[in-house]
Structure 1
Amino acid sequence: MEKCQKQIWVDNIFEKLTLEQKVGQLMVFGFAGPVITPHIIEMIKTYHVGGFRIAQKFHGGYDSKEGAHPSLFKEPDSKSYDRPGTFKAKRVACTPQEYATTLNTLRDLAMEHNDGVPLHFTFDQEGEGADFLFGQRLFPFPMGLAATKEPEMAYKVALSLGKQARALGANMIHSPVLDVNTNPLNPEIGPRAYSDKTDTVIAYAKESIRGFNEMHIISTGKHFPGRGDSVQDAHFGLPVIDLSKAELMEKHIRPYRELIKAGLPAIMAAFTAYPSLDPSHDPAATSRAIITGLLREELGFKGVITTDNISMHGLLDRYEVGEAVVRSLLAGCDLILCRNETPVNKYIIGCVIEAVKTGRYSMDMLDASVMRILKMRYDMGLADNGGKVNASEAGLPFYDEEIMAVAREAAEKSVTVLRDKGGLLPVSKDKKVLLIEQTHHFHSFINNMYVHPGVLWEEMLKHSDHVSVVVVKEKVSKACIERIKGRLKHEKYDLIVTTSYYNYRTHANMMEVMDLLCHQEAPVIVVSNTPYEKFGVPKHVNTAIVSFCPSGRENIKAIADVIYGSISANHGLELEKH
């Protein structure tokens, strides 16, 4: 009966769609809210966009061109767009209630102007690395969940994330990460993966999907067919993974095979080349051999396939943006993810419409994708009132006792003593300590009492009055180094504690500080968000603690508690030796 109702709803929507509306359903564009701009209104009313990738940043104009590919700034119709200027994205303080109201408003707009076709909202959440949404508790990276050695922890965290997301009005998550991080030099996956072991990835990802499914959040396995063996960041160039098909199938594609059997509803295609799967060196998302031949036909996947963000150089260094989008659809992708809020949105829609009209992209392929997308939206619950939520309750999950308990448990069970060769742990409360605290990007972005710059210092002071601090930028400047040197020159300390956080988006790290501290007399404890030598914990560090989420009060408290011995921690990580 339910299946029949689903098909009736899908058919009723589908039969009303024009060509332009069908093409709009393929698009998931950026909405860096909470301010509704004329551009976003135009995307809904005129271009019939079916989905938005939401985040807690406001651009106030076009995306900054810094680091962006030139082809993303086409202006096919610049006179029709009021361009206020180019600004870097900034946070606009906003309550969960206000943000949910904003999303409800966009849903009303879509239902009114698009013949009742509902919008869906997608977000990215992998623990620490995410598009932070308003009023959410933060949880460890997937590798931190695996460090607990309790697969059910992945389920409980996914359930908690899902409750928070549903309250705001989000419907789809670009998670879980199914990459198997077999290369310790991988600059963009690392602890975003559950493990460097295939069986561990499968076990924890299954539990994550179970939690998301219970909250009617569509989970998206990524990045097919696997980016764990790469040494190149696809945001900045096209990685080539030159493994045999047999090795790819056994280590990197097997999680997809198993998760498809378990009901994985959506998959994200990588902008990475796999010569053994497609000798053309095309990025996977644009390869029909990989998307249709392998994923659809060989693995039997019937759900929705999305591209990764088409802003990435891994795609655009190979193809012009309009051509890249059409090739992705011809390969078999259903959804195009474009996080930009620029005229490129209009341009790529025009390219797809033209491809249909010329017969290059067949109406049959377009219709099949639209049907899959509409079925997915039904599973999201969008047939009920377009997916609107009770905005007055959007902030309640942050104070939900079960979610708070899961956040504490995940933090305490995931924090790991990577090594303590010098026997520095636990630290005596009478030790004179200098804390060098790196400002993680979420500290300054959220900047409230849940997490802010200097939050580890605050938590350490709850244990000891003998802690001094030097707060430095995430990308350590010369001025930061000089401040550290000045403090060490003029004062003597029994112990130095330094954070060493690696940002997988900007590649910011603390290696210069690590080199400086090598030459200090006082022993050093390093606190990192990654266990990998190149990015967070060099070999010469004798004592290291890994917190897989250095954001959020629960996680920072767990670090301080381990330092001073209030709680015990995991010891070591079961990572392969390379």
Structure 2
Amino acid sequence: MRYRKAVVLFLVLALAVTWFATPAGAVKEEKAKKINVNKILKDMTLEEKVGQMMMVGFYGSEPTEEIRRLLTDAHAGNVILFSYSDNVQTPQQTARLTNGLQEIAMDTRLKLPLLISTDQEGGVVARMTMGATELPGNMALGAGRDPAGSREAAKLTAEELRAVGINMNLAPVLDVNVNPDNPVIGVRSYGEDPGLVADLGAEAIRGYQNNGVIATAKHFPGHGDTDVDSHLGLPVIDKSRGELEKVELVPFQRAVDEGIDAIMTAHIHVPALDDTPDLPATLSKPILTGLLRKEMGYEGLIITDAMTMAGVADYFGGVPQAALKAVDAGADLILLTPAMTADEQIEVADTITEAVRSGEISEQRINQSVRRILRVKAKYGLFRERQVDVDRVPERVGTPEHLEKARELANRSITLVKNDHHLLPLKMDEEKKLGIISQFSLRDRVEKYHANTEEMHVRPVNPSDAVIEEAVEMAKGQDILLVGTYSASLYPQQSKLVRALEELDKPMVVVAFRNPYDIKDFPGAEAYVTAYGFRSVSLEAAVDTLFGTHPPAGKLPVTIPGLYDYGHGLTYGE
């Protein structure tokens, strides 16, 4: 009897060891084996196959007739959620919405689960903010030089996304921001060093994918050296192939080697990779199939950036024809947005379907993409785990533990760039007046340190001359000035405001709440701090650092041309 009990105990322990020693990826792969992807594919109509390649958008905080049409009539297999379209309001509302979307998909003939995606990059780009954990963005993590922190940020993001039914994150951004005039990437990048971007990006990929969320590296082959916003036009990167391999392609090759499950294309023209005039990478077969698939060895999903963006929609006959060209180039998922009506999105699917029927694109090419999509859905257990527990969302989203981790990451990111006359940390007598002039309100956070405070909240990003005059008049009555900027290097009137305040010759601290390059337009600033973001967690960390609760610990992840090198960063007393 004792022997039999000992054997049973041994077997139980052995099974437990095997279970805990099995990597998360292996568990997912085991789940994937039980779904016969080829059998599903064989049973699909052409319309259902093309529908699986559509990622569609809609307006509404709950399932609408439009999204129902897209999922049932057009067989769309994937949905993207935005906050501007009211899809994402609160965590529990989002959970109810995703449950409803999956229920609609369950009522279709094949009952295939949906990929439900959003852009939860952290920092300035985050769709789920109310009630969720606001995290510092990539450049803040780059300033903290903390790979483990990057993984932890992705892990808690994945936990919160899965809690509300979002199984795909369009992150991390792996663009290397080497251009200070970049209007669309900036702080969304980890920095200007390809190695740093690759290291922190690899950790983020692990953080997402080991916790049940498909990671999406973007924007391939690299959007960091542009001075045009691809939402508004077609940027051109005029570099040699060798230069691209040393900078832009480094983080993406690392992502491929790490097993990234999705890569998003960029609507940028790169002549060294494909010299077809005005051809965005999204529509380039040499870039998507030749470079990414064959040369770099990538086998996962290729998803386009939003096909409604001007960088692609204004070329090659509009969205339906551009989408057809993207599929031919090698894209698996066509990303559409609520900017298109349901009818317009259905037209995209119909255009691709007709191209297959006419022989313009082979059905084998479509099968390649659908097989990849189904395999990813199986790998992440989506056939089994379609619904989330709405009642448990408050226990899993915006938790005290997550909020504390976000604060720790933000505190480590604040970078002291300049501190003439040791102006910082601020130590002010009670009677001294502190004037705050900022793009973002700081007064509530500052008053816990200094009550004698007056604030002027400056809007818009390019303030008028009249607003500048009003700010100067307010500042004349203050003893010390605290000025907050928002990518002032891209908005001339902000820089004009700071220079006008400098003429008052008062002690002044400038805090950059987005891109760190602002000081190049007012290099005489007495003290300059970069926070890399305007979310509450970054505002709080910046104010706490200004008053000495936390010493500044960040190092610049970019060069500020002509002034400060990559890696520069002071602490108090230096």
TM-score by length of 2: 0.86
**Secondary structure in 2 matching 1:419:** strand
Deviations 1:236-270 (A, max 9, x none): 11111111101101211121112211111110111
Aligned to 1:242: 238
Letter in 2 for 1:19: L
Take 2:90 and 2:112, find their aligned partners in 1: how far apart are those partners? 27
Letter in 1 for 2:485: S
- Larger Rg over CA atoms: 2
Which of 435, 445, 450 matches 1:464? 450
Which of 135, 143, 147 matches 1:147? 143
Take 2:473 and 2:560, find their aligned partners in 1: how far apart are those partners? 39
Aligned to 1:520: 504
**Secondary structure in 1 matching 2:219:** strand
Deviations 1:301-337 (A, max 9, x none): 0000000111111112322221111110000010011
Aligned to 2:134: 138
Quick one: structure 1 residues 250 and 477, their matched pair in 2 at CA, closer, same or farther if it must change by over 3 Å? closer
Does 2:556 align with 1:573?
A: yes
Take 1:499 and 1:336, find their aligned partners in 2: how far apart are those partners? 39
Matches within 5 A, 1:192-203: 192-203=188-199
Deviation at 1:360, TM superposition (A): 1.0
Aligned to 1:539: 523
Take 2:521 and 2:215, find their aligned partners in 1: how far apart are those partners? 32
Quick one: structure 1 residues 509 and 115, their matched pair in 2 at CA, closer, same or farther if it must change by over 3 Å? farther
Matches within 5 A, 1:293-308: 293-308=290-305
Quick one: structure 1 residues 537 and 423, their matched pair in 2 at CA, closer, same or farther if it must change by over 3 Å? farther
Does 2:246 align with 1:256?
A: no
Q: Which runs of 4+ in 1 moved over 6 A?
A: 506-509
**Secondary structure in 1 matching 2:437:** strand
Letter in 2 for 1:255: P
Aligned to 1:373: 373
Quick one: structure 1 residues 294 and 516, their matched pair in 2 at CA, closer, same or farther if it must change by over 3 Å? same
Take 2:526 and 2:67, find their aligned partners in 1: how far apart are those partners? 51
Q: Return 5+ residue gaps in structure 1 as ranges.
A: 59-90, 440-453
Which of 465, 471, 488 matches 1:484? 471
Aligned to 2:116: 121
Deviation at 1:135, TM superposition (A): 2.3
Deviation at 1:234, TM superposition (A): 1.2
**Secondary structure in 2 matching 1:113:** coil
Aligned to 1:351: 351
Deviation at 1:42, TM superposition (A): 1.2
Take 1:109 and 1:457, find their aligned partners in 2: how far apart are those partners? 47
Matches within 5 A, 1:379-394: 379-385=379-385, 387-394=386-393
Letter in 2 for 1:345: Q
Matches within 5 A, 1:311-330: 311-319=308-316, 320-330=318-328
Take 2:242 and 2:483, find their aligned partners in 1: how far apart are those partners? 43
Take 1:92 and 1:486, find their aligned partners in 2: how far apart are those partners? 43
**Secondary structure in 2 matching 1:429:** coil
Deviations 1:99-155 (A, max 9, x none): 201210111011102421111111112222224215211111211112112210101
Take 1:477 and 1:577, find their aligned partners in 2: how far apart are those partners? 24
Aligned to 1:403: 402
**Secondary structure in 2 matching 1:206:** helix
Take 2:232 and 2:221, find their aligned partners in 1: how far apart are those partners? 19
Take 2:322 and 2:197, find their aligned partners in 1: how far apart are those partners? 30
Deviation at 1:4, TM superposition (A): 6.7
Which of 475, 480, 502 matches 1:495? 480
Matches within 5 A, 1:328-343: 328-339=326-337, 340-342=339-341, 343=343
Take 2:127 and 2:414, find their aligned partners in 1: how far apart are those partners? 21
Take 1:354 and 1:503, find their aligned partners in 2: how far apart are those partners? 49
Take 1:536 and 1:410, find their aligned partners in 2: how far apart are those partners? 26
Quick one: structure 1 residues 238 and 296, their matched pair in 2 at CA, closer, same or farther if it must change by over 3 Å? same
Take 1:47 and 1:536, find their aligned partners in 2: how far apart are those partners? 51
Take 1:535 and 1:390, find their aligned partners in 2: how far apart are those partners? 48
Letter in 1 for 2:456: V
Aligned to 1:436: 437
Deviation at 1:215, TM superposition (A): 1.1
Contact 1:470 1:483 in 2 (8 A): no
**Secondary structure in 1 matching 2:111:** coil
TM-score by length of 1: 0.86
Take 2:520 and 2:388, find their aligned partners in 1: how far apart are those partners? 41
Take 2:225 and 2:254, find their aligned partners in 1: how far apart are those partners? 20
Aligned to 1:38: 65
Deviation at 1:507, TM superposition (A): 7.2
Deviation at 1:399, TM superposition (A): 4.2
Contact 1:530 1:537 in 2 (8 A): no
Aligned to 2:419: 420
Q: CA RMSD in A?
A: 2.4
